[in-house]
Amino acid sequence: MSVHQNVDMKLDCRPDFVSLVWTKSRPQAEPSLIRLGNCPPTSVSAEEAVFNVGLNDCHFRRMVTGDQLVYTNDLTYIPSSDSHMPAFSLPVVCAYERPVDWYPPMYDPVLFDTYGQGELVFHMELMNDDFSGPAPSTAFPLGSLIPIMASVEHKSHQPLLLLLEECVATTTPELQPENHLFPIITNKGCLVDSKGTRSKFEQRQKSSEIHLSLQAFKFALGEEVFIHCKLLAWDPSGLDRSKKACHYVKDHGWELLDNPSYSSLCDCCDSSCTSRRTRSIASGKHGIAHNAVLGPLTITDWNA
């Protein structure tokens, strides 16, 4: 057992579960919006969010380093759209002595919660106009389209579906509590920037890759901009309200990229797309999440 503590959270790493207490230190923060991986708090008070979860839940990532088993996750805060409180993320790490008789499990094409023999490699890149190669420049005029490609490579022949769960733009390569943020994708896969702009997901060429055409926005003009995204690799048959890619089509409404006939999964994009955690665990399906940072890029104003 090990206990770690910083100004915001106390982490207690037990043999098969984790106890974490996040204590409110920012006046405008709402404890109910804190997430450990994909898990909401076990209990919430006005000042604290408490998590008591198993290491096989909440998308904990497992790695073997020498004689240690290391479990990692992210404690994240994504504020509501009307809040002035910025988003933030804190690393959660529990390290255990590797049991003498422990070996990496054989790769199961349905379960993606371990790096074992099915190691995944995530990639994110600025592309040229037709997504056929890297972007020739990192400067984009205001109103033009910024082509972004994200992918996951895997050793198994089992197809994976790559999703962009959250994306925000900021002016620093690391998310800081004081950062001003520009929301791009929120609410577990909703491209909120597509409402009122030309931003959209492009039709997929393969499930393990996703193309985003993002209209250059009026944020930090002339400054360095970084795009922070949470990538999620999942079983292609596991789409639901918390695992999706939705964009807004003018005069039509929210549309599901991967199967428009199920666009009702996107109805929650204007409210709250809560995770149906019990159902997800019962199905035995897990994904692997990865936080990626793209940049720096610059948005220029033709009229300046």
The string of DSSP letters for 202-230 reads: PPPSSTTEEEEEEEPPSSSTTSEEEEEEE
Domain that holds residue 17: 9-97
Instruction: Identify whether residues 47 and 143 lie together within a single domain.
Output: no
Instruction: Identify whether residues 130 and 257 lie together within a single domain.
Output: yes
Using CA atoms, how far residue 277 sits from 31, 57, 59, in Å, is 19, 10, 11
Amino acid at 196: G
- Partner residues linked to 228 by β-bridges: 168, 293
Among candidates 293, 210, 295, which has minimal Cα distance to 246? 210
What is d(CA 166, CA 154) in angstroms, rounded to the nearest whole number? 22
Q: Which carries the bigger pLDDT value, residue 112 or residue 286?
A: 286
Looking at 97, 131, 157, the residue that finishes a domain is 97
User: What domain count does the chain have?
Assistant: 2
Instruction: Identify whether residues 133 and 18 lie together within a single domain.
Output: no
Q: What is the CATH number of the domain that holds 27?
A: 2.60.40.3210
Instruction: Identify whether residues 48 and 163 lie together within a single domain.
Output: no
Instruction: Identify whether residues 50 and 199 lie together within a single domain.
Output: no
Instruction: Identify whether residues 154 and 296 lie together within a single domain.
Output: yes
Using the predicted structure, report yes or no on whether residue 118 has a pLDDT greater than 60: no
CB atoms within 10 A of CB 198: 14
Mean pLDDT, rounded, for 229-235: 86
pTM of the model: 0.60
Instruction: Identify whether residues 91 and 124 lie together within a single domain.
Output: no
What is d(CA 90, CA 80) in angstroms, rounded to the nearest whole number? 18
Instruction: Identify whether residues 78 and 159 lie together within a single domain.
Output: no
Instruction: Identify whether residues 192 and 290 lie together within a single domain.
Output: yes
Instruction: Identify whether residues 138 and 74 lie together within a single domain.
Output: no
Instruction: Identify whether residues 124 and 271 lie together within a single domain.
Output: yes
Q: Is residue 72 part of a domain?
A: yes
Mean pLDDT, rounded, for 31-50: 89
pLDDT score, position 130: 92
Among candidates 106, 264, 99, 90, which has minimal Cα distance to 176? 90
pLDDT score, position 116: 28
Q: Which carries the bigger pLDDT value, residue 99 or residue 278?
A: 99
Quickly state the pLDDT bin for 133 (edges 50, 70, 90).
confident
Q: Which residues contact 59 (CB under 8 A, 6 or more apart)?
A: 37, 38, 73, 113, 286, 287, 288, 289
pLDDT score, position 165: 92
Phi, psi of 281 (to 5 degrees): -65, -40
